[in-house]
Chains A and B, each alone.
Chain A
């Protein structure tokens, strides 16, 4: 019987035939730690007896959640991590480069067929490049840093077949929100998702990253797009790798198969307080919002800002809405800058910040007061995620966020 992508990746790493359900100790090609979960992993590694990391070149360190340090304790964590990087010979991207899930692919630290772990749940994002990547906790990370391998249970796969062409102002975020709504917040727990079909083949790498990023919002362990020419083009100049075919065999066993015609998808929005509370934007249109956040590892790329700028046109953002824009990385920031979009956004009334996680997780800045409503292009709308537990977070595409920021109320982007 044939194999799924996940089974193939584990078979290649473990040098034996691996099947869904098998528990294996597998070597990893990369391990990412950031300023929130890294300190704990470093401390736990010391508790495990310390010593040298398995391979400093395979450890990726950066700071993105609380930067520039927003508290003395954050600053202390940064100092502690810098010291660890120096002692161990790990390259630290520090506060300069941006959000982990943008920086790791951008710096060529992931390639198709890799197994990558990160002490961050959205590590599944690198599936956009055909890797098996997954989020782990700090203690597992400590173990990986020390031994270079980890126990995995090889997941079953849910195959998504998406075809057709998106309507104008509808895109990857609307598709992934549709899937989260259908599959549910725990519908893919312990499983991998494979994103296949024409719609994914047509999708650019940023769009694939948006989708793979949110695999975890269905509980999935990984969300993988089979690598193709777009993947190779993206990786050109970023890392050395010899392209190879990586897709499921025709007779591979899937746990479930689902198909979508993306032409039928209208703009979607996740309403408080669960990511799978997904409705058509039209159902909540007219709802007042206090803040709009365009950014995060889900939708903080150049293409997302272009999308927002197209919706904005020559208009201004509403005076009643605080618009906070945060690109996901320094590279994306520079692209937006060079395209003249920052001037346009600031002129329209937005705040344009340097790359970081920003308001996404209610840590550094842009927190909400009780009763306030935020519309965000990020990936989670849990109660209290962006501030007070009495505030409300809605999730949408950059187009819907921009359209709503113009009118001051939730707005279908096809109508502006």
Chain B
């Protein structure tokens, strides 16, 4: 049996949750029974559900809870009020999940993995140990990103983690994962996880960064610096050492060509090395679905080519969040909202309001990206739109 849905959202992180909620807000799922899916007029009757037509929005999340990375973001978010600035990520996640759960137009499948998107529009999902076929009218890919790794001798020793993994152990599982940590990478993840390690009573010996400048927000850097954690730019890790597990690391200063400066090597005693050296978009489903892909460095690698509506080159397949370029969670939420609006509007929902909502979201994104820190995203998107028009 095939399950019919109007909009399928793949990934229940900030982008996916906001996509599902905005699509529902525009009326997806509130169909008049005698009209077919996609041609209903929401004005005909709010709350008239049509079970035989399938669900409005199906949100599929691989983890056992929705929320994505928000479930471990214990720090307060930046941005403006519209992106819940000042609220902690965990609370934003809870709020979005509760809203989606309470929304009768949204069905949430957790612990469920999308396996493939096929030519005939069928999407297969592993859900409750069953192989289920879903036929969505529209798909929003919001699969997020994965942490990058770093090549150095000894990097296979137990005690070497992605910073996000350590954050999960601490903030989700409640496990103290280390006693003394060396953090590699001074982007926002490296800085924030260092702060959270310190909050958990764990020593962070240093944060090292190959770039000459701190990549993350300087307020995060200042916060950990005054707590006693040195941030060493133009430094890299040469090797990890230890007998059976990490006992320390050899670090060095590097010059402008990223070559080690002889005589600057030093040993750092630590039991854990956290790598926070960037993220890669999780694009497998976009590749597999046949979306045209492009390598755009500023968006952090291969991403599906998309237009201003976040629609990929496969009609009806949209993308939002880190999968279409690594950014902050605040931008992911707005992108999700935008993809949800566009997917819903393309099905004929909320056409009168969609234009205003779309504009609002575009303005918010522009605002979030307009500062110094958004420079690379602006360049990346310019390249994207140039590619897209070809």
> A and B: real partners?
no
